Amino acid sequence: MKKNLYFIFLAFLLFVLAACGSSGGSNSESEASGSDNQDSGDGLSESEELTDITFAEPARILSFAPLYVAIESGFFEEEGINAQISSGGGGSQVTATLLSGDSQFAINAPRAMLSAIDSGADLTAIQSLNSALTYEVALSDSYMKEKDITFDSSIEERVAALSGATIGSNQIGDSGDVYLRYLLQEFGEDPSTLETVKLTGNGTKVGGMQEGIVDGGIASPPFSALAEAEEGGQLAIRLSEVAMYSELIWETVFTKSEYLEKNPDIAVSVVRALGKGIEFTKNNPGEAAASIVSYFEGVEEEMIKSSLEGLSPVYVGHGEMTQAAWDNAQDPLVEFSDMSGVTNKHDTTEDGLWTNNYIEEAFSE
């Protein structure tokens, strides 16, 4: 009897040990599976490993072409960035999107950044997509005939013809309005004689010229090309013809200073991708136009190409900035502060509100 009990106990013990071994084997398999899953995680596709970065822009504008080209050419992906764009709402919305954290970088005219700094924001510019003012003035054929000017007339004659003109702009008192009035003043004309009318969008301006509502309009390319194509008018002035506007910070890339301190590597990657975009757009306008035509509904690829060729002088280096360019951007805004909202003249020495350090690091080799 005792012997039988011994064998029963022994069998039970072996069963328990076998069960424990099986359970241990299951745990080991589970850990191995977890390890396999982790390995699978390390082997995620490249797109899943990219860092999401959002750029805020005020509207879809051709002078932002290096941004679009950098996205479409894969320059951001090369930097490990999945670049997205939050578009629309104008300059104030761009700044609000940045300050709220919904975007990491903003691209806009200096006015948006400077007015936000006036309101207490701590922002730093790290690059300028354009190194000259891209605005162009197109005038109706009838107005140019009345004033007896052509694009080949002297710049003095063409600026004088704007005195007393009615010009369509996206907003009354916007950057186009301010820089145009400052131009008149610099050439000895009375800026108060200029009347601006709110006509948002290139098509609306061209329509206003065709209907005789305005004598002309101001906008960035392809505005004058569209005016000529629709027989609404023709190019009268490129503001970059004028010395003070030929070196000017325009469409600047800026972000919160705190973000730069915490994410210097991302800043370097961003300016490297955009710098490549600037260089590619300048050297390959045809390929650039083909890659971004989908960004501009209703605009033909050939028109985008010709506009990018016209913008070629504004694409300098990799978007480096100078104090003179910042002064030329700021002075008109302060002069017409009641329109621009920029009330303070800021110190424009390097490493204050702007820096080239990230560009220098990105392209040091």
211-252 pLDDT, tens per residue? 999 999 999 999 999 999 999 999 999 999 999 999 999 999
Q: What is the mean pLDDT of the chain?
A: 89
Band of pLDDT at residue 48, cut at 50, 70 and 90? low
Q: How far apart are CA 253 and CA 67, in angstroms?
A: 10
Q: Looking at residue 42, what is its pLDDT?
A: 36
> CB of 122 within 8 A of CB of 258?
yes
Q: Looking at residue 5, what is its pLDDT?
A: 40
Quick: pLDDT tens for 101-154.
Answer: 999 999 999 999 999 999 999 999 999 999 999 999 999 999 999 999 999 999
Tokens of 161: 């013809």
Tokens of 156: 């003095």
> Looking at domain 136-246, which of 3.40.190.10, 3.90.1300.10, 3.40.50.720, 3.40.50.11540 is its CATH number?
3.40.190.10
Q: Which residues contact 249 (CB under 8 A, 6 or more apart)?
A: 110, 125, 128, 131, 321, 325, 326, 328, 329, 354
Band of pLDDT at residue 92, cut at 50, 70 and 90? confident
Class of the domain covering 50-131+249-362: alpha beta
Q: Looking at residue 9, what is its pLDDT?
A: 39
This prediction has a pTM of 0.85
Q: Looking at residue 86, what is its pLDDT?
A: 96
Q: Looking at residue 28, what is its pLDDT?
A: 31
Whether 24 shows a pLDDT value over 60: the answer reads no
Handedness of CA 287, 288, 293, 295 (dihedral sign): positive
Quick: pLDDT tens for 334-348.
Answer: 999 999 999 999 999
Please report, rounded to a whole number, the percentage of residues in the chain having pLDDT higher than 70: 87
Band of pLDDT at residue 52, cut at 50, 70 and 90? very high
Q: Looking at residue 198, what is its pLDDT?
A: 97
Locate CATH 3.40.190.10 in the chain.
50-131+249-362, 136-246
Burial of 138 (0-12, 13-18, 19+ CB in 10 A): buried
Higher pLDDT, 49 or 64: 64
Q: Looking at residue 348, what is its pLDDT?
A: 97
What distance lies between CA 76 and its chain's CA centroid? 14
Whether 290 shows a pLDDT value over 50: the answer reads yes
What distance lies between CA 261 and its chain's CA centroid? 21
Quick: pLDDT tens for 143-184.
Answer: 999 999 999 999 999 999 999 999 999 999 999 999 999 999
